[in-house]
Structure 1
Amino acid sequence: MPRRRPGALRAHRSRHPVPRTRTAPPPPRIPGLSTATTLAVHRVEAAYPDFLVFPGATSTALLRCRAFLVPGRRPLYPRTAACPSCPGCALDDVREARDTLAEVLRRLPPRPAGELASVLAALDGRYAARTLPDPRAPRESAAWWHGRLGEGAEGW
């Protein structure tokens, strides 16, 4: 007597008889990160909204850091944002953008955090090489990227 294959038996007992479909399109991919890390970042941005972390903040902060570190050899001087109290405008300051990336990195699961950390390590190396240390900056109060020489504010 012929037997039914195990896959044929399980097909009738499926918990999801109707194929799953998405109600919304997938979130946009963050340049330089894998799809899995991008999804993890979007989950973190949606789950933990605050001043530094909001939907799209990681992508904007990475673009801002990359735009600040244009190729060249001249020293770069970060500028304070013209409107630092607005979450979107605060990312105009590369130091605030790096704060946002550090906060997202802290909240990510281990594997996506490792991938984002490797991207940030490359950016941090270029940032440290192109900016100058501020001898007057307090060493213990802020992250190391705040202790670099800056000039004025954006748009002033």
Structure 2
Amino acid sequence: MPPPPPVPGLSPRTGLAIHRAEHERHDHHHLFPGTTAHALHRYRTFLAPPGRSPLHPRAAACPACPGCALDDVRTARDVLAETLSRLPPRARAELARTVARLDRHYRARTLPDPRAGDDAPWWHRRLGEGAEGS
């Protein structure tokens, strides 16, 4: 079996641990081969626009489709949380450091939604608008 493709910004060891976690048989529809790298890319891309103006997460146009669901940065962050929960300690720590840096940037570039309940993860409780691409 060829080695898994690298996950940009992470060590090969952590990439292999992610690959293994994505290939385990579980009942979760968010985590499948390659989805962590895609989610990490989506999170970085969302935060990439220069400037300090607020960014607004948007719902995916097709949230039921596992690939399209990642168009919503909040779903991408859900995938990263799921991956973190399945990794061994060293790989979890490396990915957690990367995600924590992105989380700080996300908090700085998005606004809290005062109408959001406390039942969702914090990254879902940010002001959003419309559907992605609309």
Structure ID, larger Rg: 1
The residue that corresponds to 1:43 in the other structure is 20
Map of 2:127 onto structure 1:
149
Q: Which amino acid aligns with 1:51?
A: H
- Which amino acid in structure 2 is aligned with residue 77 of structure 1? H
Residue 72 (structure 1) shift: 2.0
Aligned counterparts of 1:128 and 1:146: Cα–Cα separation in 2 = 11
Matched to 1:64, the amino acid is R
Q: How far apart are the structure 1 equivalents of 2:104 and 2:38? A: 20
Q: Give the residue type in structure 2 aligned to 1:152.
A: G
Deviation at 1:61, TM superposition (A): 0.1
Where relative contact order (Cα < 8 A, 6+ residues apart) is larger, the structure is: 2
Q: Does 1:29 align with 2:9?
A: no
* Identity among equivalent pairs (%): 64
The CA deviation string for residues 30-72 of structure 1, in whole angstroms up to 9 with x for no partner, is: 0011000000000000004531100000000000000000132
Can you give the 5+ residue segments of structure 2 that lack an aligned partner in the other structure?
none
Q: Distance in 1 between matches of 2:30 and 2:129?
A: 22
Taking the aligned partners of 2:60 and 2:33, their CA distance within structure 1 comes to 20
Q: Distance in 2 between the 1:89 and 1:25 partners? A: 27
What is aligned with 2:69?
A: 90
- Give yes or no for the alignment of 1:104 onto 2:83: yes
Does residue 45 of structure 2 align to residue 67 of structure 1?
yes
Distance across 1 between alignment mates of 2:25 and 2:16: 14
User: What TM-score results when the alignment is normalised by the length of structure 1?
Assistant: 0.82
**Ranges of 4+ aligned residues in structure 1 off by more than 3 Å:** none
Q: What RMSD over aligned residues (CA atoms) do the two structures have, in Å? A: 0.9
Q: Matched residues in 2 for 1:83 and 1:129: separation?
A: 27
